[in-house]
Amino acid sequence: MIVMGIDPGLERVGYGVIDAQKGNRFTLLDYGIVKTPAHTPTVERLAMIETGITQLIEKYHPQEVALEELFFTKNITTGIVVAEARGVIMLTAHKLCGNLFEYTPNQIKQAITGWGGAEKPQIQQMVKFYLKMKDIPKPDDAADALAVAITHAQTGVFGGMFGIR
């Protein structure tokens, strides 16, 4: 089963595509970011994100798409535009794929490392391990997207489903 993980953002949308087989065996297919230029009207950046996500879904035909849930802890203003981008990403994935799942940061940490309080480097090491990569995936947004894809493959596809809203 092809799973696409997405880490929402306005400047950088991380994506990671894996083929998940039973027994937590994963094949890495692709990862990277959809980047939008600064000093560009927000709505044009939203259009670029829609185009980028559409192209990725049409290329890999994921059966399921998993997104990281958004929490605002630091910067409210940044949070608003990230949520605007997230709405566009959700709707695009829903229209093209139909199977959309969401996971909180804690659910992702728990699924990847077995501990909800894990730090980013531990998660990235585990992503590298699960996907048999030579190096830690870069940038962080792409690593986060792979982490949510693995989370969904572990907990949603072959285990109990949760995280949808």
Give residues in contact with a copy of itself (CB under 8 A).
41-44, 46-47, 50, 70, 72, 76, 79-81, 83-88, 90-91, 93-95, 100, 164-165
User: Which C-beta is closer to a copy of itself: that of 38 or that of 121?
Assistant: 38
Where do the H-state alpha helices sit in the chain?
A: 42-60, 76-96, 105-113, 120-130, 140-152
Known catalytic membership, residue 141: yes
Q: Closest CB to a copy of itself among 87 and 114?
A: 87
At CA 13, angle to CA 130 and CA 84, rounded to 5? 135
For 73, the 3-state DSSP assignment is: coil
Q: Which of 64, 102, 141, 144 is catalytic?
A: 141
Q: To which residue do tokens 């572990």 refer?
A: 154
Annotation marks residue 68 as catalytic: yes
**93 or 111, CB closer to a copy of itself?**
93
